[in-house]
Amino acid sequence: MSAIMEVSGLNAWFGAAQAVKEINLSFEKNTVTAIIGPSGCGKSTFIRCLNRLHEEVPDARAIGRVLLEGDDIYGRGVDPVAIRRKIGMVFQKPNPFPSLSVFDNVAVGLRLGGLRRASILKEAVERSLTLSALWDEVKDKLNAPGTSLSGGQQQRLCIARALAVEPSILLMDEPTSALDPISTAKIEELVTELKKAVTIVMVTHNMQQAARISDKTAFFLLGDMVEYGETSRIFTAPKDSRTERYITGRFG
Amino acid sequence: MPGVVRAKNRPVREIHYGDRVFAGILKIPAAGLALLLLSIAYFLYRAASPVIVKHGWAFLTSSTWDPVRDVYGALPVIYGTVVSSFIAIVIATPLSVGVALFLTEIAPRRTGRVFGFLVEMLAAIPSVVYGLWGIFVLAPWLRTSVEPFFKTWLGFLPFFSGPPYGVGMLAAGIILAVMITPTISSIAREVFSAIPLQQREAALGIGATRWEMMRLAVLQSSRRGLTGAVILGLGRALGETMAVTMIIGNRHEVSLSLFAPGSTMASIIANEYAEATTDTHVAALVEVGLVLFAVTFVINSIARLFLSRSGNR
Amino acid sequence: MKRHFADYLFRSYRKRKAVNSTMYLVLIVATLIALVPLFSIFGYVLAQGAPALNKSFFLELPKPVGEAGGGMANAILGTVTLVFLASLLGVPWGIATGLYLSEYGRGRLASVVRFCADMLASIPSIIIGLFVYALVVMTMKRFSALAGGLALGILMIPTVARSSEEMLKLVPQHIREAGLALGLPRWKVTLMIVLKGIRGPIVTGVMLSVARASGETAPLLFTAFNNRFWQGRLDQPISSLPVQIYTYAISPYDDWHRQAWAGALILVLLVFAMNLITRVVLAPKARKS
């Protein structure tokens, strides 16, 4: 097993408040890593540091080393725009572009990259939609606005949009928190399927979800990473008492 | 505490009564606004009626405006209004969208606040001060630098032919552009700020540059609101009076050249009120005002429609 | 993930960066261009106007054509008079409308009122002048300060109404509820708690619309008209700063031009100061909500 992304000494702030403290963590290829913890524990901030989206918030900053396939994305002269193409992201709320059709929502990343050939785009869109298990549902309404789909479909559309540019790693920030149970189940199923193609890091506040679909789990508390390990072990034999209290539902 | 006891014993109906009276009283000035609007339309119509009766619809299509012979046709001023406002919109739209994008998407917070204030100041300067500046600064500059330049390179077009006066249609269009830029850009800013953060992050998340993010997440989804903003700016340009009156040259002829003096609906009213000695002349000016009222009313209603729907989404 | 077009996407990257930088530049330049007139106007008004601002400008009447000197004393007083008259109409009407919209503004009537206020605010001000001309001047058969005040007052209504409504909406709902929970009737809560608590900002809003009204020219042209002398009677034509600036600006005399610039300087300083004060007074309140 090789690590596709290695995080070391990562710290992040909002203004003067430190949200993420000295995180060291690595993600292995074709695994699902779940980041769990109570709200405000810095798990969302952490994952947003992994594609340098955190620094887009006014007054926010982050320092540390994040190696993606050996290259430090926080290295000197590295442009966040360039590295974000290799790191897909799916957000809490489904956010397809309202002015774009289903097709265009998926194709948009490639178009930005200068890809114009209709045949290539069509192929790529179908591949991504198939990968995100949406193709059969939308193949007849590719020209409908992306926002006309149901919530769960919209979220899978956003997954397809992220996959279209063929990222090395897919970050998911509580991707099911705005969805109903059936749509959630579909996304979970999809995630276990997707890890064959891409490495996934997923923030979730839902411990059952983490237990169901992840291979590794990291538990965050107040900006610290308290414990990290095989999901099965974290949920059965946590080493840290705080982890134990959290997974047994005693706080957060 | 006897007061408390009394309050408790007061019949509930009485309290409601006081509230109803209060709401009723407040309704008077509120509903009075509607009455005011109606009476504006009515009194303008009444004062204009001699000319409305005399000329009918021909008033709008005839191009002779001759107070001496008591013949009034509003076509030249309608033409002047349309052309000057058109120039203004063409210049102000890209400028305003640029300003709004800079302020909402690029400028650091503090810079944004300072520049936002400056743009607001542009809206607060009185029209007559713009006119003064237009006469003594803008028009001379146009006459000596801008218009000769256009004449040299584009003089074969009818729009850029004729002597460069400085004062004229182009000057009016430019000054209108300056004046409506804060209107359009402040609404554009509101429209942009209403776009959820997630849209912007979605764009950044797929590796868009900042400009691509503006295009994808901001401009694409605010087309409707921007249209409303521009229409509102148009409404303001159509009715702007003093600055235009002072710089457009006040000649009631249709000329293709943008250098030529012209006049607008608002400017002819401001310019001729003093010399309007006959009743029909006054009535004709009022009818121009009535037309302007109707046009701006319609334009602003349309703008409102665009803006309210974009706000709901 | 299997890579289909990694190389291709990498190649276009440089171009995209260039486009991005160019557009940044374009947007910054657009903003600067939009502000050029502001700085130019400020510069000219200061340079041309300041030297002409002397004692006689504030204290003397205009001199007849050809004689140097004189001032705009009557026009300044005229503007004060007109704005005072306008406030008598516009301020109570505007605040009452704002109060209605913020406290009872949910029904059908409220949306009609809001529409009317919007329309009234966006009608060209010269139309208001024409209306007052047809309503008052034609009836009285003369221009008058009253007519001018009426025209400016009508213009003030929608702006005062809108700013008051916005300020009133800043008062948190729980403050109203606290009053109602004490058993106070709604009208008392509105007048004694809500309105009182937000008095400062509302006054600021009113002052801002007063500043705007004092720069209005078009509606005064054929209502208040103009007057070269002091005028104590309200049923007589009266001069005003903006109309005087207009008259002087389109005249052929250098001395008058200087005075026009001086008058413009006063107007610009007035609106600038008012806008600045509004910012300072309202900014923290607006941020809190």
Q: What is the pLDDT along chain A (252 residues), one digit of tens a residue?
A: 578 999 999 999 999 999 999 999 999 999 999 999 998 889 999 999 999 999 988 889 999 999 998 889 999 888 888 889 889 999 999 999 998 999 999 999 999 888 888 998 999 999 999 999 999 999 999 999 999 999 999 999 999 999 998 999 999 999 999 899 999 999 999 999 999 999 999 999 888 999 999 999 999 999 999 999 999 999 999 999 999 999 887 664
Interface probe for C, chosen from B179, B181, B242 (most Cβ of C below 10 Å), is B242
- In chain C, residues with a C-beta closer than 8 Å to the C-beta of B210 are 20, 24
Confidence of residue C4 (pLDDT cuts 50, 70, 90): low
| pLDDT tops 50 at residue C85 | yes
Look at chain C and report how many structural domains it folds into. Answer: 1
Query: In this complex, is the C-beta atom of A88 within 8 Å of any C-beta atom belonging to chain B?
Result: yes
Instruction: Compute the average pLDDT of residues C172-188.
Output: 85
Least Cα distance to B264 among B277, B250, B276 occurs for: B250
Q: Considering CB atoms only, which of A82, A124, A167 is closest to C13?
A: A82
Maximum pairwise Cα distance, chain A: 56
Both tokens of residue A138? 């939308």
- In chain B, residues with a C-beta closer than 8 Å to the C-beta of C268 are 125-126, 129
Query: In this complex, is the C-beta atom of B204 within 8 Å of any C-beta atom belonging to chain A?
Result: yes
Residue C95 CB-half CA count within 13 A: 19
Q: Which position has the token pair 């276990």?
A: A192
Confidence of residue B311 (pLDDT cuts 50, 70, 90): very low
Write out the DSSP string of B213-251. HIIIIIIGGGHHHHHHHHHHHHHHHHH--HHHHHHSB--
Residue C6 belongs to some domain of the structure: no
Instruction: Compute the average pLDDT of residues C128-142.
Output: 92
Distance from C-alpha of B264 to C-alpha of B251, rounded to nearest angstrom: 9
Write out the DSSP string of A137-172. HHTT-TTSBGGGS-HHHHHHHHHHHHHHT--SEEEE
Instruction: Compute the average pLDDT of residues B35-53.
Output: 94
Residue C110 CB-half CA count within 13 A: 16
Distance from C-alpha of C78 to C-alpha of C201, rounded to nearest angstrom: 27
- In chain B, residues with a C-beta closer than 8 Å to the C-beta of C29 are 98
Check CB contact under 8 Å for B34 and C279: no
Check CB contact under 8 Å for B106 and C28: yes
- In chain A, residues with a C-beta closer than 8 Å to the C-beta of B211 are none
Query: In this complex, is the C-beta atom of B158 within 8 Å of any C-beta atom belonging to chain A?
Result: no
pLDDT at res. C213:
93
- In chain A, residues with a C-beta closer than 8 Å to the C-beta of C1 are 163, 166-168, 197-198
Give yes or no for a contact between A110 and C5, defined as CB atoms under 8 angstroms apart. Answer: yes
pLDDT at res. C36:
97
Nearest chain A Cα distance for residue C9, angstroms: 5
ipTM: 0.92
pLDDT at res. C289:
35
Distance from C-alpha of C62 to C-alpha of C70, rounded to nearest angstrom: 5
pLDDT at res. C47:
96
Confidence of residue B310 (pLDDT cuts 50, 70, 90): very low
| pLDDT tops 80 at residue C159 | yes
User: In CATH, what number is assigned to the domain containing residue C241?
Assistant: 1.10.3720.10
Instruction: Compute the average pLDDT of residues B170-183.
Output: 97
A/C interface, count of CB pairs below 8 Å: 40
Give yes or no for a contact between C279 and C257, defined as CB atoms under 8 angstroms apart. Answer: no
Confidence of residue C10 (pLDDT cuts 50, 70, 90): low
| pLDDT tops 60 at residue B12 | no
The percent of residues above 70 in pLDDT, for chain B, comes to 93
Query: In this complex, is the C-beta atom of B109 within 8 Å of any C-beta atom belonging to chain A?
Result: yes
Query: In this complex, is the C-beta atom of C100 within 8 Å of any C-beta atom belonging to chain B?
Result: yes
Nearest chain B Cα distance for residue C239, angstroms: 15
Check CB contact under 8 Å for C8 and A167: no
Which carries the bigger pLDDT value, residue C6 or residue C89?
A: C89
Confidence of residue C12 (pLDDT cuts 50, 70, 90): confident
Residues 6+ apart with CB under 8 A from B236: B179, B180, B183, C122
Can you list the alpha helix ranges (DSSP code H) found in chain C? 6-49, 55-59, 73-104, 108-122, 125-132, 138-140, 145-170, 173-181, 186-188, 195-197, 199-214, 241-249, 254-288
Check CB contact under 8 Å for B109 and A98: no
Check CB contact under 8 Å for B101 and C27: yes
Instruction: Compute the average pLDDT of residues C53-69.
Output: 83
Average per-residue pLDDT for chain B:
89
The range of the structural domain enclosing residue C229 comes to: 55-288
Least Cα distance to B127 among B227, B15, B223, B246 occurs for: B246
Q: Which position has the token pair 């998926």?
A: A106
The percent of residues above 90 in pLDDT, for chain A, comes to 78
Query: In this complex, is the C-beta atom of B227 within 8 Å of any C-beta atom belonging to chain A?
Result: no
Q: Please name the amino acid found at residue A167.
A: P
Interface of B with C in 124-183 (CB under 8 A): 124-133, 135-137, 178, 181
Average per-residue pLDDT for chain A:
92
Check CB contact under 8 Å for B137 and C40: yes
First to last CA, chain A: 33
Confidence of residue C2 (pLDDT cuts 50, 70, 90): low
pLDDT at res. C121:
93
Instruction: Compute the average pLDDT of residues C139-156.
Output: 94
Nearest chain C Cα distance for residue B182, angstroms: 9
Distance from C-alpha of C237 to C-alpha of A138, rounded to nearest angstrom: 73
Name the DSSP letter for residue B158.
G
Q: Which SS3 state, helix, strand or coil, does residue A250 take?
A: coil
Can you list the alpha helix ranges (DSSP code H) found in C215-253? 241-249
**Domains of chain A, residue spans:** 99-165
Interface probe for B, chosen from A59, A78, A93, A97 (most Cβ of B below 10 Å), is A97
| pLDDT tops 70 at residue C5 | no
